[in-house]
Amino acid sequence: MAGKQQISRSKSRIILVALSLIGFSLLIFLSSLSPLRTPTTNLHLPTSHTSFVSSLEQFLTKTPSSPSLPDDTSTDVNKLDDATVFNSETYRLNSDPYYPLSLPLRVYVYNMPSKFTYDLLWLFRNTYRDTSNLTSNGSPVHRLIEQHSIDYWLWADLIAPESERLLKTVVRVHRQEDADLFYIPFFTTISFFLLEKQQCKALYREALKWITDQPAWKRSGGRDHIMPVHHPWSFKSVRRYVKKAIWLLPDMDSTGNWYKPGQVYLEKDLILPYVANVDFCDARCLSEINPKRSTLLFFRGRLKRNAGGKIRSKLVDQLSGSDGVIIEEGTSGEGGKEAAQNGMRKSIFCLNPAGDTPSSARLFDAIVSGCIPVIVSDELELPFEGILDYRKIALFVSSNDALKSGWLLKYLRDIRPAHIKDMQQNLAKYSRHFLFSSPAQPLGPEDLVWKMMAGKVVNIKLHTRRSQRVVEGSRNVCTCDCRPGNITNTVPTIS
Higher pLDDT, 156 or 139: 156
Domains of the chain: 52-271 (no CATH), 283-434 (3.40.50.2000)
Position 18 confidence tier, pLDDT thresholds 50, 70, 90 = very low
66-91: average pLDDT: 63
| No. of helices (H) and no. of strands (E), the chain | 19, 11
Name the residue type at position 220: S
Given a contact cutoff of 8 angstroms between Cβ atoms, the answer to whether 187 and 146 are in contact is no
pTM of the model: 0.82
Q: Is the pLDDT score of 113 beyond 80?
A: yes
Name the residue type at position 286: L
338-354: average pLDDT: 94
Which of 103-112, 204-213, 471-480 is least confident? 471-480
Question: In this predicted structure, what is the pLDDT of residue 482?
Answer: 43
Which of 34-48, 198-212, 339-353, 420-434 is least confident? 34-48
Q: Is the pLDDT score of 46 beyond 70?
A: no
Q: Is the pLDDT score of 156 beyond 90?
A: yes
Question: In this predicted structure, what is the pLDDT of residue 66?
Answer: 52
Show Cβ contacts of residue 6 under 8 Å, excluding neighbours closer than 6 positions: none
Show Cβ contacts of residue 172 under 8 Å, excluding neighbours closer than 6 positions: 107, 108, 109, 158, 159
| CA–CA dist 151, 146 (Å, integer) | 10
Question: In this predicted structure, what is the pLDDT of residue 230?
Answer: 94
Q: Is the pLDDT score of 486 beyond 90?
A: no
56-71: average pLDDT: 71
Which of 50-54, 203-207, 357-361 is least confident? 357-361
| CA–CA dist 113, 111 (Å, integer) | 7
| CA–CA dist 233, 51 (Å, integer) | 24
For residue 315, give the nearest of 416, 389, 412 by alpha carbon.
Answer: 412
Which of 20-34, 172-186, 355-369 is least confident? 20-34
Which of 78-87, 193-202, 219-228 is least confident? 78-87
Question: In this predicted structure, what is the pLDDT of residue 253?
Answer: 78
104-121: average pLDDT: 96
Helix (H, G, I), strand (E, B) or coil at 473: coil
Share of the chain above pLDDT 90, in %: 58
Helix (H, G, I), strand (E, B) or coil at 248: strand
Position 355 confidence tier, pLDDT thresholds 50, 70, 90 = confident
For residue 260, give the nearest of 483, 31, 486, 6 by alpha carbon.
Answer: 483
User: What are residue 226's phi and psi, to 5 degrees?
Assistant: -100, 125
Query: Mean pLDDT of all residues in the chain?
Result: 83
Given a contact cutoff of 8 angstroms between Cβ atoms, the answer to whether 113 and 185 are in contact is no
Strands 295-301 and 347-353: parallel
Given a contact cutoff of 8 angstroms between Cβ atoms, the answer to whether 151 and 111 are in contact is no
110-135: average pLDDT: 88
Question: In this predicted structure, what is the pLDDT of residue 406?
Answer: 93
What pLDDT digit, counting tens, does each position of 433-450 carry? 999 999 999 999 999 999
Question: In this predicted structure, what is the pLDDT of residue 21?
Answer: 40
335-353: average pLDDT: 92
Position 270 confidence tier, pLDDT thresholds 50, 70, 90 = very high
What's the DSSP call for residue 35?
G
Given a contact cutoff of 8 angstroms between Cβ atoms, the answer to whether 286 and 368 are in contact is no
Position 67 confidence tier, pLDDT thresholds 50, 70, 90 = low
Question: In this predicted structure, what is the pLDDT of residue 346?
Answer: 97
What pLDDT digit, counting tens, does each position of 376-411 carry? 988 899 999 999 999 999 999 999 999 999 999 999
Position 92 confidence tier, pLDDT thresholds 50, 70, 90 = confident
What pLDDT digit, counting tens, does each position of 287-330 carry? 999 999 999 999 998 776 655 557 788 888 889 889 999 998 87
Q: Is the pLDDT score of 469 beyond 80?
A: yes
